[in-house]
Amino acid sequence: MTAYLDHAATTPMLPSAVAAMAEQLSVVGNASSLHTSGRSARRVVEESRERLAKAIGARPSEVVFTSGGTESDNVAVTGAFQSRREQDPARTRLVVSAIEHHAVLDCVEHLVAREGATVTWVEPDARGVVIADAVRAAIEEDPGSVALVSVMWANNEVGTVQPVRDIVRAAHEHGIPVHSDAVQALGHVPVHFAESGLDLMTVTAHKVGGPLGVGALVVKRSMALVPQTHGGGQERQVRSGTLDTPAIRGFAVAVEESVGRLEEEAVRVAALRDRLLTTALGLGYGITVSGAWEPGDTTRRLPGNAHLLVPGCEGDSLLYLLDAAGVECSTGSACQAGVPQPSHVLLAMGVPEQEARGALRLTLGHTSTDADVDAFLAALPAAVERARRASGMAS
């Protein structure tokens, strides 16, 4: 039986979300149509929008449905940059944390290469925390040139939760809007759009037990964006396209349920994480934990995130060996042209490249059990031994 420990990549759908989506799949109706079936579909979409908004502390009118986190990040960063530059041609600079997901990083690089943007990368500290004062310092290099600040709510690799409210305050001192990718945070730590002060926030369904292929960009009504798709003008003219009514319904149900049981689930999953980390550290292989971690903590690190550095091993080798033993996890690093690359997150945190190559990311979720942790801990010693032999380092 497989132990699935890659919930940060995607988590199994909740039965309630499956049921809601399946029921809606059998019902015809385009939410943009004016006849009875269309109005019925529109009602489902708007009721789902209200449920989602309530769960994340937003107004329904602020929720713009998209195809997922990547599209939401692209619309937020590109749309805000273009809009702010149109209003003030001097605003061509982006202030972005160096540990963002590639949905933000690559979008920023595109703007630099194709649209004349410049970027100031804000490095995290050794724990992976982006300090608000560092963001403030980056802005104050030239406040009048900054179009947007973007800092993720929680890191997808090492699980560090960022001081979002402090960062927002630092940016708003200079009238600069802030976007945060909250894909990994939603359903795992408290997320409240209004209380955060954010101007833009990205969320997606499949990280919280909803379906793949649907997400949302939460946008303050005062925030102007240049649309990145054109057509029917759906979703406040921000994102044209026929709405996926069944997926939107499943999305809302999943978020509502995951947020509703967040507190007790965070404690349960953090206990599994802590046992995994504590035991792995005690195996005698020199394993260390990346990011901020204290047993029992569910606020500064995502409850289900366990990120290990295993010296003398290539992360990819460990991944394949564990997979062969029935344990599915991730390295969190990139692979370009068939050549494994160390994680940009770890490098930004100051981890030496050779150490960063031994990264292993294990993430737990709503289906995780003690048996999953036991399977990993049972398979790890043999995997480390074989990986070290393959790299020429015996234990």
User: Annotated active-site positions, please?
Assistant: 335
Q: Is 375 exposed, middle or buried (0-12, 13-18, 19+ CB in 10 A)?
A: buried
The tokens describing 147, both together, are 């179009």
Query: Whole-angstrom Cα distance, residue 377 to residue 329?
Result: 13
- In order, the DSSP letters of 96-126 are EETT--HHHHHHHHHHHHHS--EEEEE---T
Phi, psi of 215 (to 5 degrees): -160, -165
The tokens describing 352, both together, are 């030496």
The DSSP bridge partners found for residue 288 are: 309
Longest dimension (CA), the chain: 71
Look at residues 217, 183, 222, 199 and name the one whose alpha carbon lies nearest to residue 71.
217
Cβ(214)–Cβ(186) under 8 Å?
A: no
Phi, psi of 179 (to 5 degrees): -110, 145
- In order, the DSSP letters of 254-276 are HHHHHHHTHHHHHHHHHHHHHHH
Angle of helix 102-114 relative to helix 69-87, nearest 10 degrees, comes to 40
Pinpoint the alpha helices (H) of 59-101. 69-87
Angle at 106 between CA 101 and CA 110, to 5 degrees: 155
Phi, psi of 200 (to 5 degrees): -145, 140
